[in-house]
Structure 1
Amino acid sequence: MAHRIITQIVVVGSRVLGRAFAEAYKQAQASSNYARAQAKLNPNGVSARASLSSGMTLDEACKILNVKPPQGGQANMEEVMSRFKKLFDANDPQKGGSFYLQSKILRARERIEAEVRPAMEKAAQEAEIKEGWKPKVYKDR
């Protein structure tokens, strides 16, 4: 009698696990298809990748920090950083603030930086090409 109960438990348990794995696979496949569709809609891919990785849109990030959206990959990073520091410090949990709001502020800054970073890197490369490569030479004393 005990072997019959144990066998039923094993069979039912394996069915439950099998269904759970099948459902998880379906969800992962749907998520992958959605990401692929978003990448096709946005050919440069920066916004789609950054939005999917941080879970925040650029518009939402700009509203959180109360800054203007980057125009053509250019943003006033000094303004973004000053707003970030002010809001981050104001929401410090040790001063009675909210950890949730603090993390949203951090993610907003990271999202804006992810949008602006490729343009900044390209501008730095162009400036280096224009000036020429100047290695830093250290003289021995």
Structure 2
Amino acid sequence: MAHRIISQIVFTGSRVVGRAFVEAYRQASAKSQYAQQAAKSGDSSAANSLASSGLTLDEACKILNVKPPSGGQANLDDVTARFKKLFDNNEPSKGGSFYLQSKVLRARERIELEVRQKAEKAEREAELKEGWKPRLYKD
């Protein structure tokens, strides 16, 4: 009788684990296909949004309740203030959630990544307009 119960537990457990692996594979496959399609269409921001932190810019702005950066410019003081408030409110030692705390952190990182990428792009374009001027460093 005991061997029958043990075998049922093993079969049921392996079936549950197998289904979980299949579902995880499906999600990973769909995510990679989405990133490939975004890369083919030239939408580098969509590909970077998934590759960087798993959050899109819209999701990050909704989490922190800030306006999306317009033209590569964002009020980083407002983003930092919202981040600090939400991060402190979700402190696990105070009864908060580590999951929410990590989402808030990833949202701030995503917004900062977007602003940094836009600033680098604008800097490159300005350098191309002015012409290349080497930076000289004195020892």
TM norm. shorter chain > 0.5 = yes
* Residue in 2 that maps onto 1:96: 95
CA contact (8 A) 2:57 2:111 kept: yes
Q: Distance in 1 between matches of 2:121 and 2:48?
A: 18
Residue 122 of structure 1 deviates from its aligned partner by: 3.7
> Does the Cα contact within 8 Å between 1:62 and 1:69 map onto a contact in 2?
yes
- 1:80-95 map, 5 Å: 80-95=79-94
Superposed structure 1 runs of 4+ greater than 6 Å apart: none
* Matching of residues 67-82 of structure 1 within 5 Å: 67-82=66-81
CA shift at 1:78, angstroms?
Answer: 1.3
Q: Which structure would you say has the larger Rg? A: 1
Distance 1:72 1:30, change over 3 A: same
Give the partner amino acid of 2:114.
Answer: E
Alpha-carbon distance, 1:83 to partner = 0.8
d(CA) in 2 for partners of 1:100, 1:44 = 29
TM-score using structure 1 length:
0.63
- C-alpha change, 1:78 and 1:124, in structure 2 (3 Å) is farther
Give the structure, 1 or 2, with the largest relative contact order (CA under 8 Å, sep 6 or more): 1
Unaligned runs of 5+ in 2: 1-21
Look up the match of 1:112: 111
Q: Evaluate the alpha carbon distance shift between residue 124 and residue 79 of structure 1 in structure 2; reply closer, same or farther with a 3 A threshold.
A: farther
Asked whether the 8 Å contact 2:58–2:68 carries over to 1, the reply is yes
Structure 1: which 5+ residue stretches go unaligned?
A: 1-22
